[in-house]
């Protein structure tokens, strides 16, 4: 009888302990998948090519090329219910239409729910930021028609996402496609252990006039950004060389 009582007590303790451990399991923290805490930054190095007119009368052009260091950083974060917004200074897309002396742009990355990320800039970004700072604004229509996610987690190979009008196209143009994934080590990126093994996903966005390729590593962010215009030369290819996670 005493033996049975001891066994029952052990079983009850085991159940309570396992329940406690399950309850203590951390939920997926999206900031770990794409760290957007204030103070986070990414430094990229690469090349930009652009076409510069040399003669208006003859229409002659010259292809320019420059090696650049470009920084993307989170200068502010705004939390509104199921929205998390990172206010950015700089982004690799700055170099898509690069010209000598160009400065870093202003952007918003808005996370909606557990894993949809939208990139806003220019007038649309300014209007959205004003509304996000207004606590009385219910934010209806904040992401209007034409806004499309540039990241939709989880990133499973073959996944297609983007604007509803385009994701059913059979040629998979005008939408994001997760082309594949593989294990890597960012041996030449300051701020990341060279021995750390990580999963990198490749995303592509193809249109008739151009294409964009992004390599994304959960827990780090964009590790490579490539853009190529299919007509007049306009290209950029950037690789992550330094990373810092804010909020530490």
Write out pLDDT tens, residues 226-235.
999 999 999 9
At 183 the pLDDT is: 96
Single out the residue of 179, 191, 194, 176 nearest to residue 221, CA to CA.
Answer: 191
**Per-domain residue ranges of the chain:** 30-244
**Separation CA 52–CA 221 (nearest Å):** 32
Tell whether domain 30-244 is in CATH 3.40.50.
no
* Mean pLDDT along residues 195-207: 96
The reported pTM is 0.84
Report whether pLDDT(69) > 50. Answer: yes
At 146 the pLDDT is: 77
* Mean pLDDT along residues 181-201: 95
Confidence grade of residue 4 (pLDDT, cut at 50, 70, 90): low
Confidence grade of residue 248 (pLDDT, cut at 50, 70, 90): low
DSSP string, the chain: -HHHHHHHHHHHHHHHHHHHHHHHSPPP-HHHHS---TT-EEEEEEEEEEEEEEETTTTEEEEEEEEEEEEEEEEEEEEETTEEEEEEE--GGGGTT--TT----EEEEEEETTTEEEEEEHHHHHHHHHHHH-TT---TTSS-TT--EEEESS--TT-EES-TTTTT-TT--SSEEEEEEEEE--TT-BTS-TT--EEEEEEEEE-SSEEEEEEEETTTEEEEEEEEESSS-EEEEEEEEEEE-S--
**Separation CA 38–CA 125 (nearest Å):** 18
Burial 138-154 (b: 16+ CB within 10 A, else e): eeeebbeeeebbbbbbe
At 8 the pLDDT is: 44
Q: 115-172, pLDDT tens digit by residue? A: 999 999 999 999 999 999 999 999 999 998 778 999 999 999 999 999 888 999 999 9
At 114 the pLDDT is: 87
Q: Could you tell me if 68 and 45 are in contact, meaning their C-beta atoms sit under 8 angstroms apart?
A: yes
Q: Work out the mean pLDDT of the chain and round it to a whole number.
A: 87
Report whether pLDDT(48) > 80. Answer: yes
């Amino acid at each position: 009888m005493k033996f049975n009582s001891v066994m029952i007590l052990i079983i009850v303790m085991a159940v309570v302990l396992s329940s406690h451990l399950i309850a203590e399991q951390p939920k997926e923290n999206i900031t770990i998948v794409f760290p957007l805490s204030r103070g986070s930054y990414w430094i990229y190095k690469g090349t930009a090519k652009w076409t510069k007119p040399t003669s208006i009368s003859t229409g002659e052009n010259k292809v320019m090329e420059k090696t650049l260091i470009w920084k993307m950083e989170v200068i502010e974060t705004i939390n509104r219910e199921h929205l998390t917004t990172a206010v950015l200074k700089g982004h690799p897309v700055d170099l898509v239409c690069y010209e000598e002396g160009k400065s870093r742009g202003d952007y918003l990355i808005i996370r909606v729910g557990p894993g949809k990320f939208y990139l806003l800039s220019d007038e649309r970004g300014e209007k959205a930021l004003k509304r996000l700072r207004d606590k009385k604004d219910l934010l209806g229509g904040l992401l209007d028609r034409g806004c499309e996610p540039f990241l939709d987690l989880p990133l499973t190979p073959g996944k297609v996402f983007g604007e509803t009008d385009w994701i059913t196209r059979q040629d998979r143009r005008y939408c994001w496609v997760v082309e594949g994934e593989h294990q890597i080590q960012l041996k030449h990126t300051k701020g990341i252990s060279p021995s750390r093994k990580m999963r990198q996903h490749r995303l592509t966005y193809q249109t008739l006039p151009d294409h964009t390729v992004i390599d994304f590593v959960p827990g780090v962010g964009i590790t490579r950004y490539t853009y190529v215009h299919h007509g007049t030369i306009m290209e950029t290819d950037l690789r992550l060389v330094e990373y810092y996670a804010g909020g530490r």
